[in-house]
Amino acid sequence: MPKSPDQKRYSLDEAREEVSKMRGLIESKVVGGKVGDKYSADNYSAAEKLAEMKLPPERQKLYDALSEKIGNTPLVKYEGEVPNSNEIFLKLECDNSIGHSHYDRVYLKLFYEKERMGFIHPGDNVFETSSGSASASFAAVGRELGYKCHVAIPAGGEKAREQAAIEYGAQVYLTPKEKYVNGFTEFIIGFIKDHPDYVFLNHSMGNIKGRGKNVNENSVASLEDVAAESVEQLNEDSGNRFDFVVSAMGNGTNTLGISRKMKEISPKTEVIGFEMLSSAVAFQKKYPGRYEELFDINGNGDVKPENFSRHSMPGTSFPGIEFPALDESIRLLSEIKLVTDNKTNSEYKKMAGTQNDPKAAIRWDDPSIEQRLKKFGRSTIAGVAVALSKINESGATDKKFLVIAYDRADRYDAKK
């Protein structure tokens, strides 16, 4: 490629960062037509070589073996009552056999890319932050690959999640209970200062080095496979397509990956996001002013997410940290639903000065659904509740719904 005198000359680190933004980076080559005009000849060559770097054969063999344990999870039909000849299917991401959640996919890809490019090596100390399923999958996949894992989890949450990460060999650090996920930023800054040789994987945002606030495209790309597999599995059974996909809103990587791929391979499929009434991060971004219209029925300004206590669905959205993948995913969603439970409803009634539950929120802790889904986590139960609510409110008939079964019931503490 000829050099241009007015062309910016990138450092190798900058070249790496630019290359890392490209989607589908794993086992792909940098295409000159996409990024070639951004580089001098020397640095373009360096970036291209970086994208083509390979692992030693014995490490590649290990990654290949682990990849056989992740993905191609079952697609099963929900056996509870579903009206009007509609069908609800569950994609059992909790059956990924290393850390037992969709994050198995994410961490195999993150470790692979960082190791392939030489940013980490077996035996290194690596760390993460998580309020949800990521902690266990990070620890489990990291252990299989020979890394020393450290993970920060908010105090006061599900002890079952802390214990799972510990059982997989991770060292767990509890951040302040009252700050919940908003304590992560302070933790990261202090942890890096105290442990400058530890590598932050940063599944929720950033480039290949875990830096910056752009979408983590490796995380997103790994979750596109959930959509692709589901469509293929349904087609094998019926030759039909999904009409709706129901996705929990968290940091956005899950919803963005699934939405992107679904729009590509099944453009008519609508994706519905959901989050807790006591969070409403994505809801308020998509529908400015609607939260107040629906829930602040007395107009006193008391009903707002920051006045609720910490919700009971870890891993889903919470006010505070801005996640770029969440913002990008919102644009791809047909709608966003709010879900609630007994605790949230009780708090709402006090704030709103009413004896009535919030009409515009979906009660997820429905015993009839929970009884059918005993082995699954709360976000899966909530997803089915959202699908059933959509059927009832729209009068839909003969439609197919896809709900992601993210994790298992044993990753949550027993109800008190």
Q: Which residue has the tokens 């949230």?
A: 344
Res 235: pLDDT: 84
Res 329: pLDDT: 97
Q: Report the alpha-carbon distance of residue 180 to residue 127 in Å, rounded.
A: 18
Residues lower than pLDDT 50 in the chain: 1-12, 14-16, 18-41, 44, 416
Tokens linked to 122 = 């077996």
pTM of the predicted model as reported, rounded to 2 decimal places: 0.87
Stated as kind and residue range, the H or E segment containing 173 is strand 171-175
> Cβ distance 227 to 256 under 8 Å?
no
Q: How many CB atoms lie within 10 A of CB 412?
A: 20
Domain boundary assignment for the chain = 75-97+218-411, 100-200
Res 239: pLDDT: 65
Residue in 404, 254, 265 with CA at minimum distance from that of residue 329: 254
Q: Report the alpha-carbon distance of residue 142 to residue 123 in Å, rounded.
A: 10
- For 75-97+218-411, the fitting CATH number among 3.40.50.720, 3.40.190.10, 3.40.50.2000, 3.40.50.1100 is 3.40.50.1100
Cα–Cα distances in angstroms (integers) from residue 339 to residues 177, 313, 382, 414, in the given order: 23, 10, 7, 20
Q: How many CB atoms lie within 10 A of CB 54?
A: 9
* HSE value, Cβ hemisphere, 13 Å, CA-based, for 116: 24
Alpha-helical regions (H) of 52-102: 57-67
Query: What residues contact 169, with CB distance under 8 A and at least 6 apart?
Result: 139, 142, 143, 149
Residue in 279, 242, 259 with CA at minimum distance from that of residue 399: 242
Backbone angles phi, psi at 314, to 5 degrees: -60, 145
Which own/partner pairs from 23-30 qualify as long-range (CB within 8 Å, at least 24 positions apart)? Answer: 23/217, 23/220, 23/221, 24/221, 25/51, 25/113, 25/208, 25/217, 25/218, 25/221, 26/109, 26/112, 26/113, 26/218, 26/221
Residue in 180, 165, 152 with CA at minimum distance from that of residue 317: 180
Q: Do domains 75-97+218-411 and 100-200 have the same CATH topology?
A: yes
Question: SS3 of 91, please?
Answer: strand
Q: Report the alpha-carbon distance of residue 273 to residue 277 in Å, rounded.
A: 13
pLDDT tens sequence across 234-273: 987 666 899 999 999 999 999 999 999 999 999 999 999 9
Residue in 172, 223, 212 with CA at minimum distance from that of residue 13: 212
Which DSSP category does 240 fall into?
-
- For 100-200, the fitting CATH number among 3.40.50.2300, 3.40.50.720, 3.40.50.300, 3.40.50.1100 is 3.40.50.1100
Res 237: pLDDT: 60
